[in-house]
Amino acid sequence: MWGGRFSEATDKFVAEFTASVNFDKRMANQDIDGSIAHATMLGRCGIITSEESQKIVDGLNQIKQEIADGKFVWSVALEDVHMNVESRLTALIGDVGKKLHTGRSRNDQVATDIRLYMREQTDVVLGLLKRLQLGLLDLASEHTETIMPGFTHLQTAQPVSFAHHVMAWFEMLIRDSERFISTRKRINQMPLGSAALAGTTYPIDRTITAELLGFEGICQNSLDAVSDRDFAIEFTSNASILMMHLSRMSEEIILWMSAQFGFVVVPDRFCTGSSIMPQKKNPDVPELVRGKTARVFGQLTTLLTLMKNQPLAYNKDNQEDKEPLFDCVDTLTGSLLAFADMLPNLIPNKENMRNATMKGYATATDLADYLVKKGLPFRDAHEVVGKTVALGVAKGVDISELSLAELQGFSDLIGDDVFEYLTLEGSLNARNHIGGTAPNQVKMAIERGRERVENLKYLNST
């Protein structure tokens, strides 16, 4: 394709070293769709004849079918997906195929391909997120009365419901959806028509191409259009945050599944055993997702480092954007699919959760609040409750198991109504406000969650 300028053939190793077809052929459908739109625009603008335009479009559709049927022969010698398709087109329809590249460059072509691919994958991610969110809402709705310890510093803090904890996961994932929806708008801008870097002298109409390809807007500067990969970095950044959320969930599931906690049962189909220890049931899915998070973080660092020292406009460095981006997509979608299948099927061990909640003096803050309502300043109430807990520790019992006389020994404000405040159910019900642990509030949060999921614009931004 550049033989006119060069006096010798490209070194065989260099040709293989610089080729990208082995990985960028993943974007073949996007490349062909972009070419069909470009050829259609060339025909409508009179840059090529309508007959030539149709012949090119027919040939491209034939190539797309060959690829779908697994009959297309890819060649490393042709370097990338673009030249493989164009070469096959010329073989099919003759010299008319050589007119396809009129008014464009591989620079704006690949930028368009990546945006089309990322737009499609963003919709896949959003669909998987929606499935996972709805699954969590279903799980939460079954366990608004299931009590478990809430933790800070991984120490028992206050009672919460399992549903309340699951809804915390849900909130993380809603923010993830909002980020991807926002990013989709910036992905969905068309660079095609920018040519190599300065635009083209042909009388093209970029609005035609943008409409045919479903782009929301057109990149406004040709230099930026061919060299920008912000949208890819932004997608990978969103993916990193999402994977961080999945990793935090994984860590909790791994802990909860252990014999020391025994909070949840993960169905066997998401676990594996040991080759030597017959009793083992290992949480391989959450462990792998936790591990794969590091992989996605690495892809974000790769893309940032790749772009940080590139002058305008396009540079060959940008060929290195695709493999980390593709790996990020594969890792993220695989992890989401696994979690969408696994999380809604968690089975909480209600008895173990309740017993664990009773072991950590989880209602101590409720006793302090009780004393404050009786007129004691909070700092004094804090001290009284601290002494009460110390007695409970010494006797090996929860403060709710101390006698009224023992409790009144620390404050004469304590009456026989105190035990209503020291029950786990009383603690949950007392936090009866938006975002609180009261079962009726959690139920309303679940219903609001369903509305929020349905109101998000998942498959398009309009």
Catalytically active residues, by annotation: 153, 274
Question: CB count, 10 Å around CB of 379?
Answer: 9
Question: Which ranges of 312-412 does DSSP label H, i.e. alpha helix?
Answer: 322-342, 350-358, 364-373, 378-395, 404-408
In eight-state DSSP terms, residue 285 is: H
CA distance 386 to 381: 8
Question: CB count, 10 Å around CB of 393?
Answer: 11
Q: Which residues of 144-154 are buried (b: 16+ CB within 10 A; e: fewer)?
A: bebbbbbbeee
In the block, tokens 């008014």 appear at 103
CA distance 160 to 425: 9
Cβ-Cβ contacts under 8 Å for 21 (sequence gap 6 or more): 74, 75, 76, 78, 79, 80, 81, 84
Strands 217-218 vs 189-190: parallel, antiparallel or unpaired = parallel
Query: Helix (H) and strand (E) counts for the chain?
Result: 19, 6
CA distance 309 to 144: 52
Q: Which tokens sit at 447?
A: 């219903």
Question: Which ranges of 69-150 does DSSP label H, i.e. alpha helix?
Answer: 81-93, 106-141
Question: What separation in angstroms does the CA of 229 have from each of 187, 193, 330?
Answer: 9, 17, 19
Question: What separation in angstroms does the CA of 420 have from each of 147, 184, 339, 364?
Answer: 16, 51, 39, 13
